[in-house]
Amino acid sequence: MTNGWTRLLWHASRLLYAQLAWSYDLVAWVVSGGQWRAWTRVGLQALPAARVVEIAFGPGHLLRERADAGSPLIGIDRSPQMIRQAARRLRRGGHAARLVRGDVRHLPIATGRLDGVLSTFPAEFIIDPATHREVARVLAPGGVLVVIPSARLTGRGALDRLFGSLARQVALEDPLPGFRQALEAAGFNVDMGWVRLDRSEVLRVLAQRASNTPSEAAP
């Protein structure tokens, strides 16, 4: 992929999280051949029951699903437009919105307070070591970071092939080279693998915080 194309995609995705946030669900549906929600649920299923935060929640579908199931999540995202959408979605379900506007590299959460952190289809912050350090800080030992970074359509039908080639243009299949090593360097034990669904596969990263992170081990 050229630098120009990458820059264009970054710019487009920033617009999609802000001024064009109203169109986010439609775009996600199109580039995933209608599978986006099923893909994000793979992350939800891997989360512990309590003391869990979703970072970069976007339009808030998973927040709503967990709230409907009786175990609400706290959500952190930096886009006011996404926060408004998610808050509306939660209110429509009769739930209080437990949403915070902020950057995932500076979580307003006490050290060791969480059992789980979830991020589905994250932005560039997910490869930033500052994010890894911050998530390691807020997780209790044994707590888990669940990331769904990529997915791919595997169906053989014409539509799946068409949508699959569209998804490749927006790098949904990029397996994040170096991600495992970066998480390990921040003190996580990493289990990474493809989860098979009907017409697709989802890359799921389970990063369990070790009892001592490198910063705790330092003298």
Ligand X SMILES: C[S@@+](CC[C@H](N)C(=O)[O-])C[C@H]1O[C@@H](n2cnc3c(N)ncnc32)[C@H](O)[C@@H]1O
Residues near ligand X (CB under 6 A) are 17, 28, 40, 56-58, 77-79, 82, 103-104, 120-121, 123, 125
* Nearer CB in complex with ligand X: 11/161: 11
* Nearer CB in complex with ligand X: 40/213: 40
Q: Strand 188-196 and strand 200-209: pairing?
A: antiparallel
Name the DSSP class of 171: T
* Nearer CB in complex with ligand X: 60/164: 60
* Nearer CB in complex with ligand X: 22/161: 22
Q: How far apart are CA 121 and CA 43, in angstroms?
A: 10
* Nearer CB in complex with ligand X: 17/194: 17
When CB distances to ligand X are compared, the closest residue is 58
Q: Shortest gap between Cβ of 102 and ligand X (angstroms)?
A: 7
Q: Shortest gap between Cβ of 131 and ligand X (angstroms)?
A: 8
Q: How far apart are CA 175 and CA 172, in angstroms?
A: 8
The angle formed by the CA atoms of residues 150, 152 and 154, to the nearest 5 degrees, is: 160
Q: How far apart are CA 219 and CA 212, in angstroms?
A: 12
Q: Indicate the SS3 state at residue 12.
A: helix
Q: Shortest gap between Cβ of 106 and ligand X (angstroms)?
A: 9
Q: Shortest gap between Cβ of 46 and ligand X (angstroms)?
A: 14
* Nearer CB in complex with ligand X: 141/168: 168
Q: Shortest gap between Cβ of 67 and ligand X (angstroms)?
A: 15
The token duo for 21 is: 């946030």
Q: Shortest gap between Cβ of 217 and ligand X (angstroms)?
A: 27
Interhelix angle for 36-45 vs 24-31, to 10°?
90
Torsional class of 178: left (φ above 0), alpha (ψ -120 to 50), beta (otherwise): left
| DSSP string across 149-176 | EEEEE---SHHHHHHHHHHHHTTTT---
